[in-house]
Chains A and B, each alone.
Chain A
Amino acid sequence: MNTLKETLRIGVLRSFLEIKQFMRQRESVVFTLFFPVILLFIFGTVFKDTIAPGVTFSQYFVAGMIASGLVNTGFQQLAITIPMQRDDGTLKRLRGTPMSVSSYFIGKALLVTILMIVQTILLLFFGSVVFDLNLPTDPMLWWNFTWLVILGTACSTVLGIAFSVVPKSGRGASAVVSPIVIILQFFSGVFFVFTSLPVWMQQFAALFPLKWLTQGMRSVFLPEDFATQEVGGDWELGKTALILVIWLVLGLILSIKTFKWSRQ
């Protein structure tokens, strides 16, 4: 019991340290935290049309951006920074201390959670101020929003840790990870209306969590009757939860089994 408390305490301390380090790297602040807001600004300015009665493109896009923000702050950020920490000796040094592995993971998970909260607030704020985004009023929708964010963050975090073994070096990590994220964003209907994409793209995207997160976020931010325009003619929230949980478990197993502390 005492060790569990200690593991949590160190995990929280690690998250403070990770946040400090994150905030002191200007490029990470701009490209991870503000990038979705910048994209929202660009897309919202360029595409002014409405997709359906009462649904502007920016409304559709905000849903997608919040979902892909989960992928950016979790999966992308971790799959790039962990190989960097592996290269610069951070991980090897930590391995030589009494700090437990779980504390390291807890620190990362808290970092991602905090970044996600900040990023979502930024998106919602800019969306409503600049693009007249309609925020949901039904508490049920906010409840869906909450579990989608929590499950999405958890999923994105473990998959980022699991994927961190793939890049050969810290320097090359961004080149490996970023294209995957961008392709997934295109295929999952973040930048375009999902149903307007070729069917094979839709089917491919349906294998991965981002498509489901995006659809889930649309269920929160778009009018209820828009559901009929989805692929399944429904928001499919139950299926979304199931697919996210499967990826979460898969990511958890992979990250525990394959995590590497040094390049060797």
Chain B
Amino acid sequence: MNTSAAIEVRGLSKKYGNKVAVNSIDLTVERGEIFALLGPNGAGKTTTVEILEGYRVANSGQVRVLGFDPATKGGPAQKWRNQIGIVLQSTNDAADLSVLETISHFAHYYEKPRDVKQVIKEVGLEEKVSANVRELSGGQRRRLDVALGIIGSPELLFLDEPTTGFDPEARRSFWELIRTLKSEGTTILLTTHYLDEAQALADRVGVINEGVIIEIATPDTLGGRNNAPAKVTWLENGVTQELLTKNPTEEVLKLSQRFNNQIPELQVLRPNLEEIYLRMIGELK
């Protein structure tokens, strides 16, 4: 196995009773990359991630996270947790503590904690340092979750649906934070429902459905997106015309000649990630 990768998974399977949640998946996440795991609810995303985080134990397969088997118990596992950060799906804990109290406390758990004030600044909670956690909005609460995930300066950060319930502005500034972490060398495994999020952040995307990984690719090439026919539309005789083509540049040049360099309401549309994704998971149903 390639133990220099941040995450290395071979033939991972997990069953709950008779139900197969994850069926023999392979996955490699290189150090320093942002990898997004996409899939509908119940596809096996959370099961996979929770196995990588050490919360669940696989039925079969090999798993190495930073060169370590997350199913290990006891002292070595504790040490390993110094190198990872986990942002779980929605939690409601620590309601009676302030933001500062919570983050400072968690900093004590780690060997090499980041500076508490600096982390608070990075996640944009400076104005809420002394607010009780229960007073935070959904987005602020999520920022606190991220702060607790990165306080131990992890090499690898797990983000499980981090921006669910965010307004567009909060999402954009959250993305900036994730990019900053990446630029500092943090490897990030992200699960998300939002295709634009995967497109904006991920170096590579893995689509999982019914416990199987369908494809792993860059956001631009997923599902043959780069080679898929583009749609060229324009206005002619008061009617919108449309044309599917593998070579939109050529078509646009032809049109340009026909319209004397002024094509009315010209648009060239490549299939977006969402269309590709929906087609991918739809095909299997």
Which A residues fall within an 8 A CB radius of B? Answer: 3, 9-10, 13, 17, 20-21, 24-25, 85, 88-90, 92-93, 95-100, 262
Contact = CB atoms under 8 A, between A and B. Distances in A.
Contact of A92 (B55, B75, B106): B55
A100 B84 CA distance: 15
B111 A21 contact: no
Contacts of A24: 96-97
Interface stretch (B85-93, B114-122, B123-131, B220-228): B85-93
A97 B94 CA distance: 15
15 contacts: A3-B75, A20-B97, A21-B94, A21-B97, A24-B96, A25-B96, A85-B93, A88-B93, A89-B90, A90-B91, A93-B91, A96-B54, A97-B106, A98-B109, A99-B78
B101 interface: yes
B101 A93 contact: no
A154 to B, nearest CB: 24
Contact of A89 (B53, B84, B88, B110): B88
B91 A17 contact: no
Contact of A97 (B55, B75, B81, B96): B81
**Contact residues of B: prevailing secondary structure:** loop
B75 A17 contact: no
B92 A93 contact: no
B254 interface: no
Contacts of A85: 93
A92 B160 CA distance: 14
A20 B98 CA distance: 10
Contacts of B86: 93, 96
For this complex, into which size category does the number of interface residues on chain B fall? 20 to 34
Given A95-B55, A97-B152, A99-B109, A88 B78 contact: no
Contact of B91 (A13, A20, A25, A89): A89
Contact of A96 (B79, B88, B92, B94): B88
A13 B108 contact: yes
A92 B88 contact: yes
A96 B106 CA distance: 11
Contacts of A89: 88, 90-93
Nearest to A95: B55
Contact of A90 (B53, B84, B93, B110): B93
Contacts of A90: 91, 93-94
A221 B91 CA distance: 47
Interface centre among A10, A85, A92 (most CB of B within 10 A): A92
B105 interface: yes
Nearest to B151: A97
A25 to B, nearest CB: 6
A93 B88 CA distance: 8
Given A10-B108, A24-B96, A98 B152 contact: yes
B78 A98 contact: yes
Contacts of A20: 96-97, 101
A98 B110 CA distance: 6
A96 B109 contact: no
**A-B interface, 10 closest residue pairs, ranked by CB to CB distance from nearest:** A89-B91, A90-B93, A96-B86, A24-B96, A88-B92, A98-B81, A97-B109, A99-B109, A88-B93, A21-B96
A95 B96 CA distance: 20
Nearest to B78: A98
Nearest to B81: A98
B217 interface: no
Interface string B43-79: 0000000000111000000000000000000010011
A98 B111 contact: yes
Contacts of B106: 97
B110 A96 contact: no
A150 to B, nearest CB: 28
Contacts of B91: 88-90, 92-93
